[in-house]
Amino acid sequence: MEISAVIPVYNGAGYIVETIEAILAQSKPPAEIIIVDDCSTDGSRRIVESYRDRATVFSTAQNSGVQIVRNVGIARACTEWVALCDQDDIWCPEYLAKLSDLLDDEAGIEFAFCNFRTVRGPGPPDGTKFDQAPRGYWESAGRRIVPRGWVFDRSFAGQTFSWHPIFPSASSFSKHLIDKVGAFSPAMNGVRPEDGEFVLRCLYRAKVGVLPEPLVTIRRHDTNFSRDDLLTLIDEVKVLSWIKEHHEEARQYVDIIDSEIRRRRIAAVHGAFAARRHDLMRELLAEVPPRDRSINLRIKSLIASLPDDIGLASNSILQGASGLVRPLRASARAARTPMTGPRRSE
């Protein structure tokens, strides 16, 4: 199976060289590498231009957002299959070869993803994403084990509301599927889990292939778009609400969507308190009905309603002395299930 690699770039000068070199080092080279620069201002354009002898380089006329940039790359691909890679992530050398083998062996797959590891700064990689799967997750989704990986013959979409194992740089799809479900939506521009809405549209209708081996490394750093877990939670509520309103296929999942919206809203309120952002906490709390407010949350809301000098001092005392409030990142991870893997989801 021939596969095109598509890389969206915006101010990725510190990372893009390693990303491109990892793609060039694939044991099965991509049919083409398409790089789309979204009007970078940090020298990224100069770097990607230096690869013109080995890649096709495009540039947007104005900064348009990653959704449009990915769509430009997908539309330019000359092959039926497209694999995405963000500007700061790394494919293992065997990624495309193993993906191609799975697609060649199992007819009818239209969407595929693989396991991945996350690296934060200079530290060692985290455990793999699939290691975090809830007990029985894959089996309940109808996993069929094949020699090259796993296959899901029925819709995988419902599984992703409870726990989401898919990340853009570890996903690929056929252009025939894009013709059926549409490309990335500009309506998600500026929303952190922007790829989750697109992935769901694919999963509703696609036969899915999975490579359980971690073949991609996701690099987390201060310039990642979703580095603020609190704002990511808020945006995930926006995406889930959009899905509920606009996806006809989501009607069968409305109960779990409502449950996940409620859970994320509560987690965001706790996160705003932990971040000492009382104005934001009060705004978010208005979306949490009284029946969903625990005693812990009621105490925090009372503190957040006090004048700032008193409220912030009380916040510090509560966080420092009682241990009722966990740090924002730990709270977010425990209280939510991200829409898009670790993007920029976790």
> Can you tell me the distance from the alpha carbon of 79 to that of 74, in angstroms, rounded to the nearest whole number?
9
How many residues comprise the chain? 346
**The pLDDT of residue 345 is above 80:** no
CATH 3.90.550.10 fits domain 3-225: yes
Q: Give the Å distances, CA to CA, from 87 to 10, 18, 28, 189.
A: 8, 9, 20, 18
Task: Identify the weakest region by mean pLDDT among 25-34, 161-170, 222-231.
Answer: 222-231
pLDDT exceeds cutoff 90 at 324: no
Q: 111, 290, 293: which is closest to 206 by C-alpha?
A: 111
Least reliable range by pLDDT among 95-109, 117-131, 143-157, 234-248: 117-131
pLDDT tens readout for residues 12-63: 999 999 999 999 999 999 999 999 999 999 999 999 999 999 999 999 989 9
Predicted confidence band of residue 336 (pLDDT cuts 50, 70, 90): very low
- Give Cβ neighbours of residue 342 (< 8 Å, ≥ 6 apart): 118, 129, 167, 218, 220
Report yes or no: 112 and 209 within 8 Å, Cβ to Cβ.
yes
pLDDT, mean over the chain: 90
CA distances from 193 to 86, 155, 247, 250, 278 (A): 14, 21, 16, 17, 24
Domain ranges, ordered by start, for the chain: 3-225, 230-335
Q: Which pLDDT belongs to residue 224?
A: 52
Mean pLDDT of all residues in 327-334 = 46
Reference 192, options 140, 231, 145; nearest CA is: 231
The confidence band for 323, taking pLDDT boundaries of 50, 70 and 90, is: low
At 123 the pLDDT is 67
Per-residue pLDDT, 319: 86
Look at 68-82, 121-135, 198-212, 224-238 and tell me which has the smallest mean pLDDT: 224-238
- Residue 239 CA to residue 259 CA, distance in Å, equals 14
- Distance, in Å, from the CA atom of 184 to the CA atom of 166, rounded to the nearest integer, reads 15
pLDDT one-digit tens code per residue, 102-144:
999 999 999 999 999 998 876 677 789 999 999 999 999 999 9
Q: What is the pLDDT of residue 321?
A: 66
